[in-house]
Amino acid sequence: MKLYLGIDVGSVSTDLALINESGALVAGEYVLTRGQPIRSVQEGLESISKACGRQRIAGVGTTGSGRHLAAAVVGADVVKNEITAHAVAALSRFPGVRTIIEIGGQDSKIIILRDGVVVDFAMNTVCAAGTGSFLDRQASRLGIPIEEFGKTALKSVRPTRIAGRCAVFAESDMIHKQQVGHPIEDILWGLCQALVRNYLNNVARGKEILPPVVFQGGVSANDGMRKAFEEALGHPVHVPDEAKLMGAIGAAILARESVGAHTRFKGFSHALSRYTTGGFDCNGCGNCCEITEIRSGNQVIARWGGRCGRWAASAAHAVDFVV
């Protein structure tokens, strides 16, 4: 049986998904990036290789902010942005989806689809309010496991109003409400409502949000956030079973649809080799591009970051990063 591998490298987590020819998830891995994307990719590959067994990897796709780096390490066939990957994954699970809410560890985005085609999108990478890292920090400060955040919030009887337009203001407001005696569950539910208001007023501002709505990304596991979205939108919000891995699943599906008879996948043993990264400024023209490169020993595997193809063309076996 042919298997297809998708890798989604983000600032907080690196997700890997192995799917079969029908698109079903065979294995998935969620690894914390911890500022070391190459190591997190290799750690995930070690686990995925065990699930793969003797079955053949017929194609590999990468996505996320570290997609170029991952592509050079593993030998990817397809390199796509997060919008495309998440849209493809959502459509594979909910063919009629018209709105995708995606909130990860450090950013959030909205994707608008009509008749199975992406027609609009928006991203927020400036404010941390509502992202997974912000919710983790608040749960830790309140002494609540992040897995219990949503369940605790849903116990609220009288939610307190939290200022959610800014992560700093939200945190200071939560501390104030705690000091004056509001119950933890009311504070948490108020925070969920505030963060949903923030998302709808900023990321989704001006967008026509039509059902079916799919909520994916790490924050979708928070029942409080899902319920707050349902209340604000007035209709159900669907969360896929593999919500955390949807970016990786989308990359794997794109690889399945794009690869021909041969894959560029280097194999697990080669991908687990030692790699080093570096960068330099190109002064060849007025653009002064910052070039990033990855090496295996003394050999340059890939370069990217330039507006022209000057440095990419000079890299041995350079990966095509035009997509």
- pLDDT bin (cut points 50, 70, 90) of residue 270 is confident
Say how far residue 116 (Cα) sits from the centre of its chain.
Answer: 20
Question: Which of 145-173 are b and which e, b meaning 16 or more Cβ less than 10 Å from the residue's Cβ?
Answer: ebeebbebbbebeebbebbbeebeebbeb
User: Structural domains in the chain?
Assistant: 2-85+247-271 (3.30.420.40), 95-238 (3.30.420.40), 276-314 (no CATH)
Q: What is the pLDDT of residues 207-241, one digit of tens each?
A: 999 999 999 988 899 999 999 999 999 999 999 99
pTM for this prediction: 0.85
Of 170, 160, 100, residue with least CA distance to 128: 170
The larger pLDDT score, comparing residue 165 to residue 84, is at 84
Does 125 have pLDDT greater than 90?
A: no
Tokens of 212: 């079916």
Q: Rounded to the nearest 10 degrees, how much is the dihedral formed by the CA atoms of 163, 169, 172, 177? A: -10
Statement: residue 273 has pLDDT above 50: yes
Q: How confident is the model at residue 321 (pLDDT cuts 50, 70, 90)?
A: very low
Q: What is the pLDDT of residue 319?
A: 46
**To the nearest whole number, what is the mean pLDDT of the chain?**
87
Residues ≥6 apart with Cβ < 8 Å to 205: 122
What is the per-residue pLDDT across 134-174, written as a single tens digit (0 to 9) for each? 888 888 888 888 889 999 999 998 888 887 667 677 778 88
Q: Quickly count: other Cβ atoms within 10 Å of residue 27's Cβ.
A: 17
pLDDT band at 100 (very low <50, low <70, confident <90, very high): very high
* 2, β-bridge pairs: 56
Report residue 41's pLDDT band, with 50, 70 and 90 as the boundaries. very high
104-123: pLDDT as tens digits: 877 889 999 999 999 999 98
CB 171 within 8 A of CB 163: no
Q: Whose CA is closest to 319, among 305, 48, 268, 89?
A: 305
Give the pLDDT confidence score for residue 3 in this predicted structure. 95
Per-residue pLDDT at 318? 44
Task: Find out whether 248 and 28 touch, Cβ atoms under 8 Å.
Answer: yes
pLDDT for 35:
84
Tokens of 20: 């079969």
Confidence band for 130, pLDDT divided at 50, 70 and 90: low
Check residue 232 and give its pLDDT.
96
- Contact predicate 114/88, CB 8 Å: no
Query: What is the C-alpha to C-alpha distance for residues 28 and 108, in angstroms, rounded to an integer?
Result: 22
Strand order in the sheet with 290-296: 276-281, 290-296, 299-304
Strand order in the sheet with 13-20: 25-32, 13-20, 2-9, 56-63, 78-79
> Per the omega criterion (within 30 degrees of 0), is the bond before 212 cis?
yes
Measuring CA to CA, how many Å separate 200 from each of 54, 83, 90, 110, 197?
Answer: 47, 18, 20, 10, 5
Q: Per-residue confidence at 57, pLDDT binned at 50, 70, 90?
A: very high
pLDDT for the residue numbered 1: 80
With contact defined as beta carbons under 8 Å apart, do 228 and 196 qualify? yes
pLDDT of residue 246 exceeding 80, the answer is yes
Q: Please report which confidence band the pLDDT of residue 310 belongs to, taking 50, 70 and 90 as the band edges.
A: confident
- Per-residue pLDDT for 8 more than 80? yes
Mean pLDDT of the region 253-268: 90
Higher pLDDT among residues 16 and 182, named by residue = 16
Are the C-beta atoms of 99 and 43 separated by less than 8 Å?
A: no
